[in-house]
């Protein structure tokens, strides 16, 4: 009997390996669900980021996020049916681990304000006033990684 894990496997990949699967999650979450304009969703940074992907037992992508070379985390998305099960946290922790490996000390992000509690639980703190991006309220947050 084959063991089928319930919790998705997290992989951190470059854009070449992640693109098709990351696109399917971000299309569903940002473009369709949140109505982010297509031209704002895709940018030149994807090719230079590390991408975390969550894959279910059938290797279907259910979540993604990216780490930019300057220490920004962004494009955090979990498909609706998988939310509230720890997938977002696992994606963030995988990217924080990658950041540590790369010697990054301060990780910053622009959280959608409604999701700031999610990042606070990971240790991020609000570091600036609320602002609007892609028609959605955001707030800057940051975390300083400890030296192991």
Q: Contact 88/75 with Cβ under 8 angstroms? A: no
* Residue 114 interacting with ligand COA (CB under 6 A): yes
Q: Which of 5, 16, 117, 146 binds ligand COA (CB under 6 A)?
A: 117
The residue within the footprint of ligand COA, chosen from 10, 62, 87, 99 (CB under 6 A), is 87
Confirm or reject binding of residue 96 to ligand COA (CB under 6 A). Answer: no
Contact 117, 141 (CB under 8 A): no
Q: Say whether 109 sits in a helix, a strand or coil.
A: strand
Residue 63, helix vs strand vs coil: strand
Q: Cβ 86 to ligand COA, closest distance in Å?
A: 4
DSSP 29: I
Q: Is 73 in the site for ligand COA (CB under 6 A)?
A: no
35 contributes a contact to ligand COA by CB under 6 A: no
């Amino acid at each position: 009997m084959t063991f089928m894990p319930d919790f998705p496997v997290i992989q951190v990949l470059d854009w070449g390996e992640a693109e098709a699967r990351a696109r399917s999650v971000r299309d569903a979450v940002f473009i369709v669900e949140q109505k982010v304009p297509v031209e704002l969703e895709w940018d030149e940074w994807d090719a230079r980021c590390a991408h975390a992907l969550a894959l279910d037992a059938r290797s279907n992508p259910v979540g993604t996020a990216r780490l930019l070379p300057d220490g920004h985390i962004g494009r955090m998305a979990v498909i609706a049916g998988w939310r509230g099960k720890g997938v977002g946290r696992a994606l963030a922790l995988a990217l924080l681990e990658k950041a540590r490996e790369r010697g990054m000390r301060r990780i910053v992000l622009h959280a959608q304000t409604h999701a700031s509690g999610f990042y606070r639980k990971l240790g991020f703190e609000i570091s600036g006033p609320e602002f609007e991006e892609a028609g959605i309220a955001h707030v800057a947050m940051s975390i300083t990684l400890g030296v192991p």
